[in-house]
């Protein structure tokens, strides 16, 4: 569809995992120049500080069990603001295309004939690996890395368990805290050993970030004992043996080390 001559533009911008120093130069430029910023719950305060004082701010955050705006309304809002001739930034935590529903928003904008751009951001898994010193892939431990969502549209947890339980890979599960018991049990049923190193990582790259080492079998109890709440990642795989805490041998925070195969 042809874009109206007076229409504005929408840029979907990745805000990264929380640390404002991790956004791209292009992201910072677009945020500063935006007329309207529609932002999510997981966007760090330091990133929001880049918004111009005169810009319109619209909170569209989604928290567990509570959505400020339904997704359909967010899509309609982006179209509406662009048709007013505004430069709109849709500011999304992490990367817009990694479990951020950015694809749905792009579809709506293209269908409405709105010019749209995409600015990638550092997704939470990359931020967690950097913050706590473990690689996502490593010879002899993980030749693959898989990202999965622990919550489907109908709030069920129905993943490809045999694929996630394959040896020699790192599995990172987003939005999996609510279904952590099911995730742990189904992966073990699919053949992944219960003593596989695992961790819960809360708010990676933020000042209050935390890591809770565990094994696949003890993940649910670890979450309960530490009252882990979203936003938190579940990471499973032998690369966790290389985490900085393990290398330092920090009491209570180390992972068991194995000899590489």
- Catalytic residue (one of 19, 40, 81, 95): 40
Q: What is the pTM of this model?
A: 0.88
Identify the pLDDT of residue 33: 98
- Catalytic residue (one of 62, 81, 92, 95): 62
CA 137 to mean position of chain CA atoms: 18
Identify the pLDDT of residue 29: 98
DSSP 176-215: -STTHHHHHHHHHHTT--TTSEEEEEESTTSTT-EEEEEE
CA angle 110, 55, 108 (to 5 degrees): 15
Identify the pLDDT of residue 71: 93
The reply to whether 210 belongs to the active site is: no
Which residue ranges form the domains of the chain, and what is each CATH number?
9-119 (3.40.1010.10), 124-248 (3.30.950.10)
The reply to whether 2 belongs to the active site is: no
What's the start-to-end Cα distance of the chain, in Å? 55
Interatomic CA distance for residues 61 and 199, integer angstroms: 26
Identify the pLDDT of residue 48: 97
Interatomic CA distance for residues 143 and 168, integer angstroms: 6
Identify the pLDDT of residue 156: 73
- Reported as type and span, the H/E element at residue 45 is helix 45-48
One digit per residue, the tens of pLDDT, for the chain of length 261 reads 445 556 799 999 999 999 999 999 999 999 999 999 999 999 999 999 999 999 999 999 876 555 578 999 999 999 999 999 999 999 999 999 999 899 999 999 999 999 999 999 999 999 999 999 999 999 999 999 999 999 765 667 889 999 999 999 999 999 999 999 999 999 999 999 999 999 999 999 999 999 999 999 999 999 999 999 999 999 999 999 999 755 554 444 455 554 443
């Amino acid at each position: 569809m042809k874009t109206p001559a007076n229409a504005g533009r929408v840029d979907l911008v990745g805000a990264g995992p929380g640390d404002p120093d991790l956004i791209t130069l292009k992201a910072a430029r677009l945020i500063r120049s935006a007329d309207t910023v529609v932002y999510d719950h997981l966007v760090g305060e330091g990133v929001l500080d880049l918004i111009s004082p005169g810009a319109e701010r619209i909170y569209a955050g989604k928290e567990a069990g509570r959505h400020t705006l339904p997704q359909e309304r967010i899509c309609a809002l982006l179209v509406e603001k662009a048709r007013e001739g505004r430069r709109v930034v849709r500011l999304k935590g992490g990367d817009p295309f990694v479990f951020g529903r950015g694809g749905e928003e792009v579809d709506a904008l293209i269908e409405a004939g709105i010019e749209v751009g995409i600015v990638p951001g550092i997704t939470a898994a990359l931020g967690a690996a950097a913050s706590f010193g473990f690689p996502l892939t490593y010879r002899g431990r993980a030749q693959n890395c898989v990202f999965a969502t622990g919550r489907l549209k109908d709030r069920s947890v129905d993943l490809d368990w045999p694929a996630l339980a394959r040896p020699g890979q790192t599995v990172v599960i987003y939005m999996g805290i609510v279904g952590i018991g099911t995730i742990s049990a189904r992966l073990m049923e699919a053949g992944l050993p219960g003593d596989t190193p695992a961790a819960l990582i809360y708010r990676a790259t933020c000042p209050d970030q935390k890591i809770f080492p565990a094994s696949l079998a003890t993940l649910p109890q670890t979450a309960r004992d530490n009252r882990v709440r979203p936003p938190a990642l579940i990471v499973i795989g032998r690369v966790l043996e290389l985490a900085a805490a393990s290398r330092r041998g920090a009491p209570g925070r180390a992972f068991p080390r194995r000899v590489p195969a």
